[in-house]
């Protein structure tokens, strides 16, 4: 059985899958398959969609007690990556919640890719340190500044047309243009771009993706979930 796959480890009071349109959910204390040196070969999706992530060669490292006694998966910034390449699309509207730490910052390095084979559904370190932007080019204008060496919750959203945004922790939206085109969300690759390159030196504790913008009581519940679990604000 993969490490931490027991469902009873998650609070019964609220789970991210209680919210409609949850496409995937990865948490570093659940669904991890790792070897004796803690290198991760599979990270199981905690929804019922089965979008598990895998990597056989350039495996990231599972590290315990990195934030509020919780683990995270560390990507070395050289070649580490993990993902799935399913040929599918969840549509153009998207809202992804990413709890991670930029261990170091290098222009053009990636935190994650969420687009099926394309170049626009990225979350990356780009522009001026320590900016995190959504999209394929430096011109995309929805930056948030996640302090290097500190975990934070970066929300990245796109609603089609020319509307995109990012939010840091429980702050206000930073809105901008479209992320270089209309993404077809349908892939998950962490620690790199869709081709496994431009690898970011990041530690990822949790990622949850929805094919809808989350707002109102649902957003309140999600922010409380992250705050209670990781004590980041």
Q: What is the pLDDT of residues 172-231, one digit of tens each?
A: 999 887 666 656 677 899 999 888 899 999 999 999 999 999 999 999 999 999 999 999
The whole-number pLDDT of residue 180 equals: 60
Instruction: Say whether pLDDT at 4 is over 50.
Output: no
Dihedral, CA of residue 191, residue 29, residue 58 and residue 78, to nearest 10:
40
**pTM, full prediction:** 0.91
DSSP-derived secondary structure for the chain:
--BT--GGGS-SS--GGGSTTEEEEEETTSSEEE-TT-BEEEE--SSSS---EE-SSS--EEEEEEETTEEEEE--SSS--EEE------BS-EEEEEEEEESS--TTEEEEEEESS-SSSEEEE-SSTTEEEESSSTT----EEPPTTSEEEEEEEE-STT-EEEEETT---EEES-SSS---EEEEEESS-TTS-SB--EEEEEEEEESS---HHHHHHHHHHHHHHH---
Counting residues of the chain whose pLDDT is more than 90, the rounded percentage is 68
Greater model confidence, 177 or 96: 96
Please give the distance of CA 59 from its chain centroid, rounded to a whole number.
17
Distance from C-alpha of 32 to C-alpha of 52, rounded to nearest angstrom: 10
The whole-number pLDDT of residue 26 equals: 98
Counting residues of the chain whose pLDDT is more than 70, the rounded percentage is 84
CA-closest candidate to residue 144, choices 115, 168, 176, 118: 168
Instruction: Say whether pLDDT at 123 is over 80.
Output: yes
Distance from C-alpha of 149 to C-alpha of 102, rounded to nearest angstrom: 6
| pLDDT band of 86, cuts 50, 70, 90 | low
Greater model confidence, 78 or 2: 78
The whole-number pLDDT of residue 9 equals: 46
The string of pLDDT tens digits covering residues 134-149 is 876 666 668 999 999 9
Task: Output the furthest CA–CA distance in the chain (Å, rounded).
Answer: 47
118, 65 contact by CB (below 8 A): no
Residues 6+ apart with CB under 8 A from 161: 178
The whole-number pLDDT of residue 209 equals: 94
| pLDDT band of 6, cuts 50, 70, 90 | very low
The whole-number pLDDT of residue 132 equals: 95
Please give the distance of CA 160 from its chain centroid, rounded to a whole number.
20
pLDDT, mean over the chain = 88
């Amino acid at each position: 059985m993969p490490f931490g796959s027991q469902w009873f480890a998650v609070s019964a009071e609220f789970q991210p899958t209680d919210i409609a349109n949850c496409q995937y959910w990865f948490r570093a204390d659940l669904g991890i398959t790792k070897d004796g040196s803690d290198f991760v070969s599979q990270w199981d999706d905690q929804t019922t969609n089965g979008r598990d992530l895998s990597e056989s060669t350039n495996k990231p490292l599972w590290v315990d007690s990195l934030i509020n006694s919780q683990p995270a998966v560390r990507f070395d910034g050289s070649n580490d990556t993990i993902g799935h390449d399913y040929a599918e699309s969840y549509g153009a509207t998207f809202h992804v919640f990413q709890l991670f730490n930029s261990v170091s910052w290098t222009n053009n390095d990636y935190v994650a890719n969420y687009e099926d084979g394309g170049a626009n559904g990225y979350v990356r370190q780009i522009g001026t340190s320590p900016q995190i932007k959504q999209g394929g080019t430096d011109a995309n204008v929805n930056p948030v500044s996640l302090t290097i060496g500190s975990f934070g919750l970066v929300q990245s959203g796109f609603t089609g047309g020319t509307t995109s945004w990012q939010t840091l922790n429980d702050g206000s939206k930073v809105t901008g243009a479209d992320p270089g085109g209309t993404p077809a969300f349908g892939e998950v690759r962490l620690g790199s771009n869709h081709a496994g390159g431009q690898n970011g030196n990041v530690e990822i504790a949790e990622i949850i993706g929805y094919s809808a913008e989350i707002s109102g009581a649902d957003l309140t519940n999600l922010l409380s979930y992250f705050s209670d679990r990781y004590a980041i604000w």
